[in-house]
Amino acid sequence: MLSYLIFLLALLSCFASASIALSLLVNTGKRPVILAASAMAIGAYSTSVLLGGQSLHLLILMAVLYIFFICMIFWMYFRMDEDVIILCTLLMSLIFSGLLVNLSDITNGVKGLYIGIDTFDERIVCFISISILVVCCWLHKFFNSGPISLELKAVVNNRNFAEIIGINPYKASFILTFSAITILAIVGANYAIVIGYIHPLSFSDSLSLGLLAAVLLAANGRVWPVIVCSIVIFGIPEAVSFLEVPSSVLGHIRNLIFGVILISIVLLRGWLERDMEYDDAS
C-alpha cells in the first residue's frame, strides 16, 4: 500500500510538472499546442538509451526531433494563427507516434522498452519527481512575474509595439519555447523512470489532451490551479486501481473515467466562460 502511494505521488508529480510546462506555452506564450506527450516521449526514449542500453541511433533520432519541435513551435508562433497551430501540432504529434511505432528497429515499436532501473529506490524516484515539480513552479513564476515576463507580455499583446519600444520579440519567445520543450523532455525522462516501461501508447494524444485540459481549466495564470487540475484529471483514474476488479477490464474503466473527466472539464470551462461574460455584461 505504501509503495503504491509513493508511486502514485511520483506519477502525479510528473503529470503536474508537464502541465506547468505546457502552461508556459499555452497561457504565458499563447501557443495552443497539442504535442506535450510527444515532447515527453523524446525524454523518455532518450532515457532508455542512457539507462536501458538501447541503440545510439535512437538517441540521435530523439535529438533531431527535439530540435525540430523547438524550431517548428517557434516558427509557427510568428507565422500562423492559433487554430492553425493547433492543427499543425496535432499533425506533428500523429507523425511522431507513427515514427515510434514503425521504426521498430530503433524504437522497438509496439513491443515497448524496459528502462531496466529496478535498483532505484522508489523514494529517491519520488523525491526527484517532486524536485522537478518545484523547479517547474519556480520557472512558471520566473516567466510570469520575473524580468522576462514584461517582454513576453509586450510581445504577446502587440508584437509591433514591442519592436518599436526596443524589445526583441524573438529572444523572449525562443527562451520560453526552449524552456518549455526542455522541461517536458526532462519530465518525460523522469516519467519513464517512474513507470519503468515505455510504449508508444504511453504518450498518446489522450495524454496531451489531458495535460491541455488541466491548463485550459486553470487559465488564470497561477500555478496551483494547474497542479490541482492535473491531479484531478490523472489521479482519479489511477485511484481506480484500488477497486477489486479484474485486470482485463481495469484499463477500460480507467479510460472511461478519464474520458468522462475530460468532457466534464470542457463543459465546466464553457460554463465558467459564459458566466464571466454574463457578469461583465451586467
Grouping H, G, I as helix, E, B as strand and the rest as coil, residue 243 is coil
Confidence band, pLDDT 50/70/90 cuts, at residue 219: low
**DSSP element (H, E) containing 57:** helix 56-79
Q: How far apart are CA 211 and CA 189, in angstroms?
A: 17
Specify the higher pLDDT residue, 148 or 138.
138
Q: What does the pLDDT read at residue 43?
A: 92
pLDDT tier, 18 (very low <50, low <70, confident <90, very high otherwise) = very high
Looking at residue 33, its amino acid is V
pLDDT tens profile 234-274: 887 777 766 666 666 666 676 777 777 777 776 776 666 56
Q: Could you count the other beta carbons within 10 Å of the beta carbon of residue 142?
A: 14
107 to 65, 178, 181, 253: CA distances (angstroms): 14, 25, 21, 29
- Whether the full predicted model's pTM is greater than 0.95, yes or no, is no
Mean pLDDT of 27-50: 84
Question: Is the per-residue pLDDT at 146 higher than 90?
Answer: no
Tell me the DSSP string of 109-165: GGG-EE---TTS-HHHHHHHHHHHHHHHHHHHHHHHHSHHHHHHHHHHH-HHHHHHT
- % of the chain at pLDDT higher than 90: 18
DSSP 80: S
Residue found under cell 518525460: 188
For the chain, domain boundaries: 2-202
